[in-house]
């Protein structure tokens, strides 16, 4: 698989992106990374409306960029496991399942600090589970990439930490976190924003008899 990702240059470092090839994914940002790290190769897994434009834009890098197309199952797992670093330049991710998949594969993630990504890559840097850079900060992105590529031991440690982080989140742990932490924060923010008009969503019995939608009670009610 690494031979395929690198077009037969398996000894070169490879960063990978997995996902939709859409304009909102900000993938042309990775051109700057390739400019700054001359021996780095890029493998793009997926397809989408911007593929043709991306192929034209990345053409100046020759065989350093490989468009892998859509991959599934064992083939996709092998692709993740064969990369050195995972890049996520998109600034519009609401969650970022591919980031979770990369972390689960033990591949260090370098991503922009935007959208839902900081909720996944919660501890950053050499002692974290991945690296985040600020929006538009090419220097920060390149520095993180270069640091990981230059230090195999660091790369393995961050990759292992990312995998351990993902392993904590089975459905039961995720649901408990949602109910005990995220849900109260969302309710508090709703009450702050809407004031007396805010209706607190409740899990459980119907409030239809009180003239309210299913599972909704007035703010401040103990019912």
Read off the pLDDT of residues 12-61 as tens digits, 9 standing for 90 and up.
999 999 999 999 999 999 999 999 999 999 999 999 999 999 999 999 99
- What pLDDT does 112 receive? 97
In sequence order, which residues have a C-beta less than 8 Å from that of residue 145 and are 6 or more positions away? 15, 33, 37, 40, 85, 87, 110
- The predicted model gives 203-214 an average pLDDT of 47
Whole-number percent of the chain with pLDDT over 70 = 89
pTM: 0.79
Closest CA to 125 of 97, 154, 101: 154
Domain ranges of the chain: 2-167, 171-218
- The predicted model gives 135-161 an average pLDDT of 97
- The predicted model gives 197-212 an average pLDDT of 56
Read off the pLDDT of residues 88-104 as tens digits, 9 standing for 90 and up.
999 999 888 999 999 99
Binning pLDDT at 50, 70 and 90, where does residue 6 land?
very high
- What pLDDT does 201 receive? 65
Cα gap 44→20, rounded to integer Å: 9
**Furthest CA-CA distance within the chain:** 69
- The predicted model gives 135-154 an average pLDDT of 97
- The predicted model gives 203-219 an average pLDDT of 46
| The domain defined by 2-167 carries CATH number 3.30.70.260 | no
């Amino acid at each position: 698989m690494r031979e395929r990702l690198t077009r037969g240059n398996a000894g070169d470092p490879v960063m990978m992106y997995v996902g939709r090839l859409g304009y909102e994914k900000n993938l042309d940002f990775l051109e700057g990374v390739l400019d700054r790290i001359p021996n780095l190769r890029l493998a793009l897994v997926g397809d989408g409306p911007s593929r043709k434009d991306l192929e034209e834009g990345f053409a100046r890098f020759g065989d350093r960029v490989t468009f892998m197309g859509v991959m599934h199952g064992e083939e996709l797992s092998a692709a993740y496991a064969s990369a050195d670093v995972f890049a996520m330049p998109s600034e519009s991710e609401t969650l970022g399942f591919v980031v979770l998949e990369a972390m689960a594969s033990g591949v260090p993630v370098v991503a922009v600090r935007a959208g839902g990504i900081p909720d996944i890559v919660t501890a950053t840097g050499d002692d974290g589970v991945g690296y985040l850079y600020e929006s538009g900060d090419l220097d920060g992105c390149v520095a993180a990439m270069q640091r990981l590529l230059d230090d195999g031991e660091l790369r393995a440690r961050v990759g292992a930490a990312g995998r351990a982080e993902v392993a904590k989140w089975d459905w039961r742990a995720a649901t408990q976190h949602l109910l005990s932490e995220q849900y109260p924060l969302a309710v508090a923010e709703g009450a702050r924003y809407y004031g007396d008009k805010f209706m607190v969503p409740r899990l459980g019995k119907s409030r239809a008899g009180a003239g309210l939608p299913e599972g909704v009670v007035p703010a401040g009610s103990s019912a």
